[in-house]
Amino acid sequence: MELLFDDDAIDRTAGVRRVLGSPKKEPNPILEPQMPWETAGSSAFHAVLRDQASGRFRLWYRASIGGADRPAGESDGPERHFLCYAESDDGRTWDRPALRRLSFAGSLENNIIREVDAGDTVFHNIVEDPDDPDPQRRYKALGYQHTTRAAAGLPEGGGTGVTVSFSPDGLEWPEEPILVMGFEEITDANCLQPYRNPGSGSWVAFLRPRITPKRRFVGRGTSGDFLRWTHPEMLLTPDSGDDEFTEFYSLSTAVVGNFHVGALWVFHDHPEDSPMTTELVYSRDGRSFRRALPQAEWIPRGPEGSFDSGQVCPVRLLPVGDELFVYYNGVDRHHRLKRGPKPPVVNPKTVGPTRRTGLARLPLQALCGLRADHDGVVETRWVCNYGQTGVQAVADVDPGGSVRAEILDPFGSVVPGWDRAASGSVAAADGHLHLWWERPELRGIPGQTSDAEGTVGHVIKVRFHLHRATLFGFQIGAETSFPGQAD
Protein backbone atom coordinates (compact mmCIF):
# COMPACT_ATOMS: atom_id res chain seq x y z
CA MET A 1 0.00 0.00 0.00
CA GLU A 2 1.38 3.40 -1.02
CA LEU A 3 0.42 5.80 1.77
CA LEU A 4 -0.02 9.45 0.86
CA PHE A 5 2.23 11.26 3.31
CA ASP A 6 3.63 13.14 0.30
CA ASP A 7 3.31 13.34 -3.50
CA ASP A 8 6.14 10.92 -4.32
CA ALA A 9 3.66 8.48 -5.91
CA ILE A 10 1.35 11.19 -7.28
CA ASP A 11 1.60 12.86 -10.69
CA ARG A 12 -1.27 15.33 -10.52
CA THR A 13 -3.89 16.60 -8.07
CA ALA A 14 -6.76 19.05 -8.29
CA GLY A 15 -9.32 20.18 -5.73
CA VAL A 16 -7.70 18.39 -2.78
CA ARG A 17 -5.69 19.35 0.29
CA ARG A 18 -3.43 17.29 2.54
CA VAL A 19 -4.89 16.40 5.95
CA LEU A 20 -4.00 14.19 8.90
CA GLY A 21 -6.03 11.23 10.03
CA SER A 22 -8.16 11.81 13.13
CA PRO A 23 -7.11 9.76 16.17
CA LYS A 24 -9.87 9.02 18.64
CA LYS A 25 -8.69 9.42 22.20
CA GLU A 26 -10.07 7.43 25.10
CA PRO A 27 -11.90 10.06 27.19
CA ASN A 28 -10.13 9.01 30.40
CA PRO A 29 -6.72 7.60 31.28
CA ILE A 30 -6.53 3.86 30.68
CA LEU A 31 -4.92 3.31 34.08
CA GLU A 32 -6.16 5.25 37.12
CA PRO A 33 -4.64 5.16 40.64
CA GLN A 34 -6.63 2.70 42.73
CA MET A 35 -4.19 0.75 44.90
CA PRO A 36 -2.65 1.81 48.25
CA TRP A 37 0.79 1.94 46.62
CA GLU A 38 -0.55 4.36 43.99
CA THR A 39 -1.85 7.15 46.24
CA ALA A 40 0.51 9.71 44.69
CA GLY A 41 -0.46 8.48 41.24
CA SER A 42 -0.07 5.61 38.78
CA SER A 43 1.99 7.81 36.57
CA ALA A 44 2.47 8.14 32.85
CA PHE A 45 6.05 6.84 33.00
CA HIS A 46 5.36 3.55 31.30
CA ALA A 47 6.30 0.99 28.65
CA VAL A 48 3.86 -1.17 26.71
CA LEU A 49 4.15 -4.04 24.26
CA ARG A 50 2.12 -6.95 22.93
CA ASP A 51 3.43 -10.41 23.74
CA GLN A 52 4.38 -12.10 20.48
CA ALA A 53 3.29 -15.58 21.61
CA SER A 54 0.08 -14.97 23.59
CA GLY A 55 -1.09 -11.71 22.02
CA ARG A 56 -1.70 -10.22 25.48
CA PHE A 57 -0.75 -6.63 26.14
CA ARG A 58 1.88 -5.97 28.79
CA LEU A 59 2.34 -2.66 30.60
CA TRP A 60 5.10 -1.50 32.96
CA TYR A 61 4.43 1.72 34.86
CA ARG A 62 5.66 3.70 37.83
CA ALA A 63 3.46 4.20 40.88
CA SER A 64 4.19 6.43 43.86
CA ILE A 65 3.06 7.09 47.41
CA GLY A 66 3.63 10.24 49.42
CA GLY A 67 5.54 10.24 52.66
CA ALA A 68 2.36 10.61 54.70
CA ASP A 69 0.81 7.62 52.90
CA ARG A 70 3.37 5.04 54.01
CA PRO A 71 1.86 1.85 55.48
CA ALA A 72 1.14 1.72 59.20
CA GLY A 73 4.27 0.95 61.17
CA GLU A 74 6.60 2.81 58.79
CA SER A 75 7.96 6.17 59.76
CA ASP A 76 6.97 9.18 57.75
CA GLY A 77 9.47 9.97 55.00
CA PRO A 78 9.90 10.97 51.39
CA GLU A 79 7.92 9.60 48.50
CA ARG A 80 8.43 6.00 47.45
CA HIS A 81 8.31 4.86 43.84
CA PHE A 82 7.56 1.41 42.44
CA LEU A 83 7.85 -0.31 39.11
CA CYS A 84 4.48 -2.03 38.61
CA TYR A 85 3.05 -4.38 36.01
CA ALA A 86 -0.36 -4.82 34.34
CA GLU A 87 -1.84 -7.00 31.60
CA SER A 88 -4.72 -6.67 29.17
CA ASP A 89 -6.58 -8.66 26.52
CA ASP A 90 -7.62 -5.63 24.48
CA GLY A 91 -5.00 -2.98 25.30
CA ARG A 92 -7.61 -0.75 26.94
CA THR A 93 -8.77 -2.44 30.15
CA TRP A 94 -5.95 -3.53 32.44
CA ASP A 95 -5.58 -6.11 35.24
CA ARG A 96 -3.03 -5.93 38.03
CA PRO A 97 -1.80 -9.50 38.66
CA ALA A 98 -0.54 -10.48 42.11
CA LEU A 99 3.18 -10.96 41.48
CA ARG A 100 4.17 -11.75 45.11
CA ARG A 101 7.59 -10.19 44.60
CA LEU A 102 7.72 -7.29 47.08
CA SER A 103 5.91 -6.89 50.37
CA PHE A 104 3.75 -3.81 50.82
CA ALA A 105 2.00 -3.22 54.16
CA GLY A 106 2.84 -6.79 55.12
CA SER A 107 1.32 -8.37 52.01
CA LEU A 108 2.73 -9.84 48.80
CA GLU A 109 -0.63 -9.56 47.02
CA ASN A 110 0.33 -6.72 44.74
CA ASN A 111 1.59 -6.04 41.21
CA ILE A 112 4.86 -4.40 42.29
CA ILE A 113 8.01 -5.68 40.57
CA ARG A 114 10.47 -3.63 42.61
CA GLU A 115 11.07 -0.30 44.32
CA VAL A 116 12.90 2.28 42.18
CA ASP A 117 14.37 5.76 42.50
CA ALA A 118 12.43 8.76 41.24
CA GLY A 119 14.95 9.38 38.47
CA ASP A 120 15.13 5.82 37.14
CA THR A 121 14.02 5.73 33.49
CA VAL A 122 15.53 2.48 32.20
CA PHE A 123 12.11 0.81 32.36
CA HIS A 124 10.45 3.50 30.24
CA ASN A 125 11.44 1.46 27.15
CA ILE A 126 10.99 -2.32 27.24
CA VAL A 127 11.07 -4.48 24.11
CA GLU A 128 10.71 -8.19 23.44
CA ASP A 129 13.48 -9.84 21.41
CA PRO A 130 12.73 -13.54 20.72
CA ASP A 131 15.60 -13.69 18.22
CA ASP A 132 18.30 -13.19 20.86
CA PRO A 133 20.04 -16.58 21.32
CA ASP A 134 20.49 -15.84 25.04
CA PRO A 135 17.12 -16.47 26.80
CA GLN A 136 18.24 -14.20 29.64
CA ARG A 137 18.17 -11.28 27.20
CA ARG A 138 14.71 -11.89 25.69
CA TYR A 139 13.48 -8.59 27.17
CA LYS A 140 15.55 -5.46 26.87
CA ALA A 141 15.19 -2.04 28.49
CA LEU A 142 16.84 1.31 27.80
CA GLY A 143 16.77 4.62 29.64
CA TYR A 144 18.82 7.33 31.30
CA GLN A 145 19.99 7.14 34.92
CA HIS A 146 22.89 6.57 37.31
CA THR A 147 24.49 3.15 37.80
CA THR A 148 27.72 1.63 39.10
CA ARG A 149 27.96 -0.88 36.23
CA ALA A 150 29.45 -0.04 32.83
CA ALA A 151 29.75 -1.78 29.46
CA ALA A 152 33.14 -2.76 28.09
CA GLY A 153 35.13 0.23 26.91
CA LEU A 154 33.65 2.64 29.47
CA PRO A 155 35.32 3.63 32.77
CA GLU A 156 34.79 1.17 35.61
CA GLY A 157 32.38 2.27 38.29
CA GLY A 158 29.66 3.39 35.94
CA GLY A 159 28.13 6.86 36.04
CA THR A 160 25.14 8.73 34.64
CA GLY A 161 23.96 8.34 31.07
CA VAL A 162 22.23 5.93 28.72
CA THR A 163 21.75 2.60 30.48
CA VAL A 164 20.38 -0.80 29.43
CA SER A 165 19.08 -3.86 31.25
CA PHE A 166 18.08 -7.43 30.34
CA SER A 167 15.44 -9.88 31.57
CA PRO A 168 14.28 -13.40 30.68
CA ASP A 169 10.58 -12.62 31.27
CA GLY A 170 10.13 -8.88 31.75
CA LEU A 171 9.71 -9.30 35.51
CA GLU A 172 13.13 -10.42 36.74
CA TRP A 173 15.64 -7.61 36.27
CA PRO A 174 19.14 -7.12 37.76
CA GLU A 175 19.53 -4.63 40.58
CA GLU A 176 21.41 -2.13 38.42
CA PRO A 177 21.45 -1.44 34.69
CA ILE A 178 24.58 -1.14 32.54
CA LEU A 179 25.95 2.22 31.42
CA VAL A 180 26.47 2.26 27.63
CA MET A 181 26.93 5.98 26.87
CA GLY A 182 28.05 8.68 29.28
CA PHE A 183 26.60 11.96 30.53
CA GLU A 184 29.20 13.96 28.61
CA GLU A 185 27.78 12.77 25.28
CA ILE A 186 24.02 12.46 25.81
CA THR A 187 21.55 14.62 27.69
CA ASP A 188 18.59 12.18 27.58
CA ALA A 189 17.19 8.96 26.13
CA ASN A 190 13.41 9.07 25.83
CA CYS A 191 12.46 6.46 23.25
CA LEU A 192 13.69 3.17 21.83
CA GLN A 193 12.52 1.84 18.47
CA PRO A 194 10.55 -1.26 19.58
CA TYR A 195 11.73 -3.49 16.71
CA ARG A 196 14.98 -4.33 14.98
CA ASN A 197 15.43 -2.29 11.85
CA PRO A 198 14.42 -4.24 8.72
CA GLY A 199 17.45 -5.10 6.63
CA SER A 200 20.30 -4.57 9.10
CA GLY A 201 18.67 -6.11 12.18
CA SER A 202 20.09 -3.28 14.29
CA TRP A 203 18.42 -1.62 17.26
CA VAL A 204 17.68 2.11 17.06
CA ALA A 205 17.46 4.54 19.98
CA PHE A 206 16.30 8.14 19.71
CA LEU A 207 18.71 10.10 21.87
CA ARG A 208 19.47 13.78 22.49
CA PRO A 209 23.16 14.63 22.02
CA ARG A 210 24.59 17.12 24.49
CA ILE A 211 25.27 20.50 22.86
CA THR A 212 25.97 24.00 24.18
CA PRO A 213 23.89 26.11 24.32
CA LYS A 214 21.23 23.50 24.94
CA ARG A 215 18.78 23.04 22.08
CA ARG A 216 16.82 19.83 21.78
CA PHE A 217 16.75 17.79 18.59
CA VAL A 218 16.28 14.08 17.87
CA GLY A 219 19.41 12.01 17.32
CA ARG A 220 19.59 8.44 16.06
CA GLY A 221 21.97 5.87 17.56
CA THR A 222 22.21 2.22 16.53
CA SER A 223 23.46 -1.02 18.05
CA GLY A 224 23.81 -4.61 16.95
CA ASP A 225 24.13 -6.12 20.42
CA PHE A 226 22.31 -3.53 22.60
CA LEU A 227 25.57 -2.78 24.46
CA ARG A 228 27.75 -0.95 21.92
CA TRP A 229 25.93 2.07 20.51
CA THR A 230 26.94 4.56 17.85
CA HIS A 231 27.08 8.23 18.76
CA PRO A 232 23.72 9.59 17.57
CA GLU A 233 23.57 11.47 14.30
CA MET A 234 21.09 14.29 13.82
CA LEU A 235 17.75 12.88 12.65
CA LEU A 236 15.15 15.62 13.11
CA THR A 237 15.58 19.29 14.02
CA PRO A 238 13.39 22.39 13.65
CA ASP A 239 13.78 24.33 10.41
CA SER A 240 13.20 27.85 9.11
CA GLY A 241 9.45 27.31 9.14
CA ASP A 242 9.42 26.90 12.94
CA ASP A 243 9.56 29.71 15.47
CA GLU A 244 12.61 30.25 17.66
CA PHE A 245 11.00 28.52 20.64
CA THR A 246 10.42 25.17 18.89
CA GLU A 247 12.54 22.20 19.95
CA PHE A 248 12.21 18.47 19.21
CA TYR A 249 12.16 16.33 22.32
CA SER A 250 11.88 12.73 21.16
CA LEU A 251 10.33 10.30 18.66
CA SER A 252 8.30 7.07 18.81
CA THR A 253 7.94 4.86 15.72
CA ALA A 254 6.20 1.81 14.28
CA VAL A 255 6.28 -0.02 10.95
CA VAL A 256 3.10 0.41 8.90
CA GLY A 257 3.29 -1.31 5.54
CA ASN A 258 6.40 -0.08 3.72
CA PHE A 259 6.81 2.92 6.01
CA HIS A 260 8.27 3.80 9.37
CA VAL A 261 5.65 6.05 10.99
CA GLY A 262 6.50 8.25 13.94
CA ALA A 263 5.06 10.58 16.55
CA LEU A 264 7.42 13.51 17.07
CA TRP A 265 7.40 15.22 20.48
CA VAL A 266 7.50 18.98 19.92
CA PHE A 267 8.48 21.14 22.90
CA HIS A 268 7.50 24.80 22.75
CA ASP A 269 10.11 26.31 25.09
CA HIS A 270 8.33 29.66 25.42
CA PRO A 271 8.28 31.58 28.72
CA GLU A 272 4.53 32.17 28.49
CA ASP A 273 3.32 28.97 26.83
CA SER A 274 5.39 25.75 26.94
CA PRO A 275 3.25 22.72 26.05
CA MET A 276 4.45 19.44 24.53
CA THR A 277 2.60 18.63 21.31
CA THR A 278 2.95 15.97 18.61
CA GLU A 279 3.54 15.87 14.87
CA LEU A 280 3.27 12.95 12.45
CA VAL A 281 6.51 11.99 10.68
CA TYR A 282 7.34 9.19 8.25
CA SER A 283 10.24 7.45 6.55
CA ARG A 284 10.72 4.87 3.83
CA ASP A 285 14.10 3.66 5.09
CA GLY A 286 14.13 4.38 8.84
CA ARG A 287 17.07 6.77 8.44
CA SER A 288 15.56 9.87 6.86
CA PHE A 289 12.31 11.14 8.39
CA ARG A 290 10.04 13.87 7.06
CA ARG A 291 7.24 15.78 8.74
CA ALA A 292 3.89 14.98 7.14
CA LEU A 293 2.25 18.30 7.94
CA PRO A 294 4.66 20.63 9.79
CA GLN A 295 3.22 22.58 12.75
CA ALA A 296 -0.03 20.56 12.66
CA GLU A 297 -0.88 18.89 15.99
CA TRP A 298 -1.52 15.18 15.44
CA ILE A 299 -2.67 13.80 18.82
CA PRO A 300 -4.56 16.79 20.23
CA ARG A 301 -4.15 17.88 23.82
CA GLY A 302 -7.22 17.76 26.00
CA PRO A 303 -9.32 20.72 27.17
CA GLU A 304 -8.28 22.82 30.13
CA GLY A 305 -8.45 20.76 33.32
CA SER A 306 -8.07 17.38 31.63
CA PHE A 307 -5.22 15.00 32.41
CA ASP A 308 -3.51 15.69 29.05
CA SER A 309 -4.16 19.42 28.68
CA GLY A 310 -0.49 20.40 28.98
CA GLN A 311 1.52 17.62 27.36
CA VAL A 312 0.92 14.67 25.03
CA CYS A 313 4.07 12.53 24.67
CA PRO A 314 3.52 9.32 22.65
CA VAL A 315 5.73 6.52 23.98
CA ARG A 316 4.51 3.60 21.86
CA LEU A 317 2.82 3.24 18.47
CA LEU A 318 1.43 -0.28 18.29
CA PRO A 319 -0.31 -1.78 15.23
CA VAL A 320 -3.25 -3.86 16.49
CA GLY A 321 -5.28 -5.56 13.76
CA ASP A 322 -6.48 -2.82 11.42
CA GLU A 323 -5.86 -0.05 13.99
CA LEU A 324 -2.88 1.89 15.29
CA PHE A 325 -2.83 2.24 19.09
CA VAL A 326 -0.90 5.29 20.30
CA TYR A 327 -0.04 5.11 24.01
CA TYR A 328 1.05 8.44 25.41
CA ASN A 329 2.11 10.26 28.57
CA GLY A 330 -0.57 12.80 29.39
CA VAL A 331 0.27 15.68 31.74
CA ASP A 332 -2.00 18.49 32.90
CA ARG A 333 0.84 21.02 33.15
CA HIS A 334 3.27 22.44 30.64
CA HIS A 335 6.82 21.13 30.55
CA ARG A 336 9.36 22.77 32.83
CA LEU A 337 10.91 25.73 31.03
CA LYS A 338 14.59 25.72 30.20
CA ARG A 339 14.85 29.20 28.70
CA GLY A 340 13.44 32.55 29.71
CA PRO A 341 11.92 33.60 33.06
CA LYS A 342 10.31 30.85 35.11
CA PRO A 343 6.62 31.15 36.00
CA PRO A 344 5.72 31.38 39.71
CA VAL A 345 5.27 28.08 41.55
CA VAL A 346 2.09 27.77 43.59
CA ASN A 347 2.56 25.89 46.88
CA PRO A 348 5.18 23.43 45.51
CA LYS A 349 4.76 21.07 48.49
CA THR A 350 1.17 20.22 47.64
CA VAL A 351 0.57 21.15 44.02
CA GLY A 352 2.16 19.15 41.23
CA PRO A 353 1.39 17.88 37.77
CA THR A 354 -0.96 14.98 37.19
CA ARG A 355 0.58 12.33 34.93
CA ARG A 356 -1.49 9.56 33.40
CA THR A 357 -1.37 7.00 30.60
CA GLY A 358 -3.59 7.88 27.65
CA LEU A 359 -4.57 6.00 24.50
CA ALA A 360 -5.51 7.27 21.04
CA ARG A 361 -6.63 4.97 18.19
CA LEU A 362 -7.07 5.37 14.46
CA PRO A 363 -7.34 3.14 11.38
CA LEU A 364 -3.90 1.68 10.73
CA GLN A 365 -3.32 3.21 7.30
CA ALA A 366 -5.53 6.31 7.60
CA LEU A 367 -2.64 8.50 8.73
CA CYS A 368 -2.24 11.28 6.19
CA GLY A 369 -4.13 11.82 2.95
CA LEU A 370 -5.66 14.04 0.31
CA ARG A 371 -9.07 15.50 1.09
CA ALA A 372 -11.71 16.66 -1.38
CA ASP A 373 -14.27 18.80 0.42
CA HIS A 374 -16.34 18.78 -2.77
CA ASP A 375 -14.84 17.23 -5.93
CA GLY A 376 -11.18 16.42 -6.44
CA VAL A 377 -8.77 14.37 -8.55
CA VAL A 378 -5.69 12.38 -7.54
CA GLU A 379 -3.70 10.82 -10.38
CA THR A 380 -0.92 8.36 -9.66
CA ARG A 381 2.44 8.13 -11.35
CA TRP A 382 3.07 5.25 -13.75
CA VAL A 383 2.96 2.02 -11.78
CA CYS A 384 3.53 -1.65 -12.54
CA ASN A 385 0.42 -3.79 -12.24
CA TYR A 386 1.29 -7.32 -11.09
CA GLY A 387 -0.89 -9.97 -9.50
CA GLN A 388 -4.64 -10.40 -9.45
CA THR A 389 -5.64 -8.05 -6.62
CA GLY A 390 -6.66 -5.09 -8.80
CA VAL A 391 -6.96 -1.57 -7.43
CA GLN A 392 -7.44 -0.96 -3.72
CA ALA A 393 -7.71 2.24 -1.72
CA VAL A 394 -7.72 3.38 1.88
CA ALA A 395 -10.29 6.14 2.11
CA ASP A 396 -12.69 7.92 4.43
CA VAL A 397 -15.92 8.72 2.59
CA ASP A 398 -18.49 11.18 3.94
CA PRO A 399 -22.20 10.31 3.79
CA GLY A 400 -23.19 10.95 0.20
CA GLY A 401 -19.55 10.95 -0.92
CA SER A 402 -17.79 8.54 -3.27
CA VAL A 403 -14.47 7.26 -4.60
CA ARG A 404 -14.39 6.34 -8.28
CA ALA A 405 -11.46 5.73 -10.60
CA GLU A 406 -10.36 5.26 -14.18
CA ILE A 407 -7.36 3.41 -15.62
CA LEU A 408 -5.01 5.10 -18.08
CA ASP A 409 -2.94 3.24 -20.66
CA PRO A 410 0.81 3.95 -21.33
CA PHE A 411 -0.23 6.80 -23.64
CA GLY A 412 -2.28 8.54 -20.94
CA SER A 413 -5.65 7.69 -22.44
CA VAL A 414 -8.51 6.13 -20.49
CA VAL A 415 -8.77 2.42 -21.32
CA PRO A 416 -12.19 1.77 -22.88
CA GLY A 417 -14.54 0.26 -20.32
CA TRP A 418 -12.27 1.25 -17.43
CA ASP A 419 -13.60 4.78 -17.11
CA ARG A 420 -15.00 6.71 -14.17
CA ALA A 421 -18.64 6.15 -15.08
CA ALA A 422 -18.20 2.36 -15.08
CA SER A 423 -16.37 2.22 -11.75
CA GLY A 424 -17.56 1.44 -8.28
CA SER A 425 -16.13 0.16 -5.04
CA VAL A 426 -16.91 -2.23 -2.24
CA ALA A 427 -15.58 -2.14 1.31
CA ALA A 428 -13.78 -5.36 2.21
CA ALA A 429 -13.10 -6.98 5.58
CA ASP A 430 -9.50 -5.70 5.48
CA GLY A 431 -10.77 -2.11 5.67
CA HIS A 432 -9.78 -1.34 2.06
CA LEU A 433 -12.00 -0.17 -0.74
CA HIS A 434 -11.75 -2.59 -3.66
CA LEU A 435 -12.43 -0.86 -6.97
CA TRP A 436 -14.38 -2.54 -9.77
CA TRP A 437 -15.54 -1.58 -13.26
CA GLU A 438 -19.00 -2.34 -14.61
CA ARG A 439 -19.12 -5.68 -12.82
CA PRO A 440 -17.68 -6.48 -9.35
CA GLU A 441 -15.95 -9.58 -10.73
CA LEU A 442 -13.65 -7.30 -12.77
CA ARG A 443 -11.74 -6.21 -9.65
CA GLY A 444 -8.69 -8.25 -10.69
CA ILE A 445 -7.26 -6.31 -13.62
CA PRO A 446 -4.26 -7.95 -15.34
CA GLY A 447 -4.92 -9.38 -18.77
CA GLN A 448 -8.63 -8.63 -18.55
CA THR A 449 -10.69 -7.09 -21.31
CA SER A 450 -13.71 -4.91 -20.69
CA ASP A 451 -17.03 -5.13 -22.47
CA ALA A 452 -15.76 -2.21 -24.58
CA GLU A 453 -12.75 -4.26 -25.78
CA GLY A 454 -10.32 -2.33 -23.54
CA THR A 455 -7.42 -4.42 -22.23
CA VAL A 456 -5.42 -3.37 -19.18
CA GLY A 457 -1.66 -3.95 -19.37
CA HIS A 458 1.10 -3.99 -16.78
CA VAL A 459 2.06 -0.29 -16.95
CA ILE A 460 -0.82 1.96 -15.99
CA LYS A 461 -1.94 5.04 -14.14
CA VAL A 462 -5.00 5.30 -11.93
CA ARG A 463 -6.95 8.54 -11.75
CA PHE A 464 -9.06 8.69 -8.58
CA HIS A 465 -12.13 10.93 -8.54
CA LEU A 466 -13.08 11.94 -5.00
CA HIS A 467 -16.36 13.44 -3.92
CA ARG A 468 -16.43 14.49 -0.26
CA ALA A 469 -13.82 11.91 0.57
CA THR A 470 -10.21 11.55 1.78
CA LEU A 471 -7.79 9.22 0.02
CA PHE A 472 -5.09 7.94 2.41
CA GLY A 473 -3.42 5.35 0.20
CA PHE A 474 -3.72 3.06 -2.79
CA GLN A 475 -2.41 -0.26 -4.04
CA ILE A 476 -2.18 -1.49 -7.62
CA GLY A 477 -1.75 -5.23 -7.94
CA ALA A 478 0.03 -7.31 -5.34
CA GLU A 479 1.53 -5.73 -2.22
CA THR A 480 4.86 -7.37 -3.05
CA SER A 481 5.14 -5.35 -6.27
CA PHE A 482 6.03 -2.29 -4.16
CA PRO A 483 9.64 -1.74 -3.10
CA GLY A 484 10.52 -3.09 0.33
CA GLN A 485 12.20 -1.26 3.19
CA ALA A 486 15.88 -0.42 3.28
CA ASP A 487 18.01 0.37 6.30
Q: Are 180 and 162 in contact (CB under 8 A)?
A: yes
The answer to whether residue 272 scores a pLDDT higher than 70 is: yes
Taking phi over 0 as left and psi of -120 to 50 as alpha, with beta for the rest, 426 belongs to beta
Mean pLDDT computed over 360-364: 95
Segment (H or E) for 379: strand 368-380
For the chain, how many residues are written? 487
**Which domains does the chain possess?**
2-21+369-481 (2.60.120), 24-363 (2.115.10.20)
Q: Over pLDDT 90: what percentage of the chain?
A: 64
190-214, pLDDT tens digit by residue? 899 999 988 889 999 999 988 877 7
pLDDT band at residue 480 using 50, 70 and 90 as cut-offs: low
Which among 211-220, 249-258, 478-487 has the top mean pLDDT? 249-258
Alpha carbons within 13 A on the beta-carbon side of 64: 18
pLDDT value, residue 176: 93
The answer to whether residue 451 scores a pLDDT higher than 60 is: no
Q: Give the integer Cα–Cα distance in Å for 46 and 48.
A: 7
The answer to whether residue 260 scores a pLDDT higher than 90 is: yes
pLDDT value, residue 45: 77
The answer to whether residue 440 scores a pLDDT higher than 70 is: no
Mean pLDDT computed over 5-19: 97
pLDDT band at residue 439 using 50, 70 and 90 as cut-offs: low
Tell me how many degrees the CA angle 480-481-487 measures, rounded to the nearest 5: 70
pLDDT value, residue 141: 97
pLDDT value, residue 110: 97
Q: Give the integer Cα–Cα distance in Å for 238 and 244.
A: 9
Q: Give the integer Cα–Cα distance in Å for 146 and 141.
A: 15
pLDDT band at residue 71 using 50, 70 and 90 as cut-offs: low
The answer to whether residue 346 scores a pLDDT higher than 50 is: no
Q: What is the dihedral of CA 141, 144, 145, 148, to 10 degrees?
A: 60
